[in-house]
Amino acid sequence: MSREVWQRVLSEVRTTAFTIQFYFQGEPLLNKDLPLMIAEAHEAGLYTIVSTNAMAMTLECAEALVGAGLNRIIVSMDGLTETSYSAYRIGGDIRQCKDALRWLLEAKERLHSRITIELQCLRLRTNEHEWTALKQQYKTLGADRLTLKTAQLYDYRDGHPLMPTNPRYSRYVKAEDGRYHRRSLRRGCMRVWSGCVVTTTGEVLPCCYDKAHAYAYGNIMNAHLRELFCSTEANAFRRRALREAPTICQECWK
């Protein structure tokens, strides 16, 4: 996200928003301006969150994020061993994740920060034997909290090798036809009334599941966010979300 788009976003939300999440379908640490953006949001009184795979984390980066006043950081580490971790995080390095957690904890203690360091693990068949150990060890790894999250999978109709053996921890259930289907979700969602996504180019989307920008309300560089949030397009999407589940809602697990 360019400085121009970011400054427009911040000026639009600083008096009305509570939280800014600095991530959407990408790796936020690749933006070298991220600590500055966090510091500016923090100065405006906004609660700030970053979610990262930690592959771009360094000791200096950890220090900059914590020093900027970041409130919460989520580090994705889907397993305790390289074998279980790499089954999903292909090309990743679990040692880098563990180093990142340690660097963040060291910066938190050195700067007397109140940042929440969250370790997030997807529930997968390849790591289900480690869930208990994760619950016992996450604090020793440097995290303040642990979140075990169900996984969104593709090509799941005939089953998937990453599906947990216990269907309770899967977003998909086997039907009478022998194929897997998404679990039924309630209609309606508070997210489309309480927030939105602004992309790196300024497009305003209903939520983070609109990965293809199919339901964009408009662009923040061409209109005020309040106008877009209350626009005909936005309200039409919300009415549709109440009556039926649009495609993006069918993938959601919130």
Q: How far apart are CA 120 and CA 103, in angstroms?
A: 17
Question: What is the overall mean pLDDT for the chain?
Answer: 93
What are the tens digits of pLDDT across the range 71-94? 999 999 999 999 999 999 999 999
For the entire predicted model, the pTM comes to 0.93
Check whether 5 has a pLDDT greater than 70.
Answer: yes
Predicted pLDDT at 154:
85
End-to-end Cα, the chain, rounded Å:
26
Which tokens hold the place of 195? 């927030």
Name 86's Cβ contacts closer than 8 Å, sequence gap at least 6.
79, 92, 94
Q: What are phi and psi of 73, to 5 degrees?
A: -130, 135
At residue 241, the pLDDT reads 84
Quickly list H helices, the chain. Answer: 3-13, 34-43, 59-67, 82-86, 94-110, 131-137, 191-194, 225-229, 232-243, 247-250
Give residue 115's pLDDT. Answer: 98
Pick from 219, 218, 205: nearest CA to 249: 205
Which of 117, 171, 166, 116 has its CA nearest to residue 149? 171
Q: What is the token pair recorded at 24?
A: 């959407």
pLDDT band at 253 (very low <50, low <70, confident <90, very high): low
Contact present, 180 and 223 (Cβ < 8 Å): no
Rounded to whole angstroms, the Cα distance separating 61 from 212 reads 30
Q: Sorting pLDDT into bands at 50, 70 and 90, what band is 188?
A: low
d(CA 102, CA 94): 13
